[in-house]
Amino acid sequence: MLYAILAYHVEADVLSWTAEADAAVMSGLIEAHDRLNRMGKLGPSARLGDTAKARTLRGPGAGAVIDGPFAETKEQLLGFYVADLPNEEAAIEAARELRRANPGAVYEIRPIRRFIPGAALPDVDTHSGSTAAR
């Protein structure tokens, strides 16, 4: 099984760290990443940008873009996309394209602060649970 591990923390605390404190935490995380990479278990990971820069697309039609990561509590995170796009407008358009395919979904758009590629993982057939090489 593949798992998404979503890291939660009090953002104000993280933003208050000195550069040295942040580097110490990242150093420890990189060691953990290295261990998982040596086992071939780590896929892509990302440190998200500030929630103040998040945008959410929701509502009927083309949807409305609102500030912030404001998903309703009845909604659960069911997917995670990483896209290399030139700016926020292009990212919003990409979310709109996804939404056209899945109009009931809500898409949160967040800039990625740090991207760590990791090792390639096998594709998973969600119906059978079997894996295939990428």
pLDDT at 73 over 70: no
The total of structural domains in the chain comes to 1
Q: What is the pLDDT at residue 124?
A: 72
Which pair of structure tokens corresponds to residue 125?
């057939």
Segments forming the whole domain that contains residue 113: 11-132
- Please indicate, yes or no, if residue 63 is contained in any of the structural domains: yes
More confident residue, 123 or 63: 63
Rounded to whole angstroms, the Cα distance separating 97 from 112 reads 20
Per-residue burial over 46-67, b = 16 or more CB atoms within 10 Å of its CB, e = otherwise: bebeeeeebbbbbeeeebebee
- Please indicate, yes or no, if residue 6 is contained in any of the structural domains: no
Q: Which of 42-46, 51-55, 102-106, 123-127 has the lowest mean pLDDT?
A: 123-127
- Please indicate, yes or no, if residue 20 is contained in any of the structural domains: yes
Q: What is the CATH number of the domain that holds 21?
A: 3.30.70
Q: What is the pLDDT at residue 134?
A: 39
Going through 68-122 in order, the beta strands assigned E by DSSP cover 107-109, 112-116
- Please indicate, yes or no, if residue 106 is contained in any of the structural domains: yes
Q: What is the pTM of this model?
A: 0.65
- Please indicate, yes or no, if residue 4 is contained in any of the structural domains: no
- Please indicate, yes or no, if residue 1 is contained in any of the structural domains: no
- Please indicate, yes or no, if residue 5 is contained in any of the structural domains: no
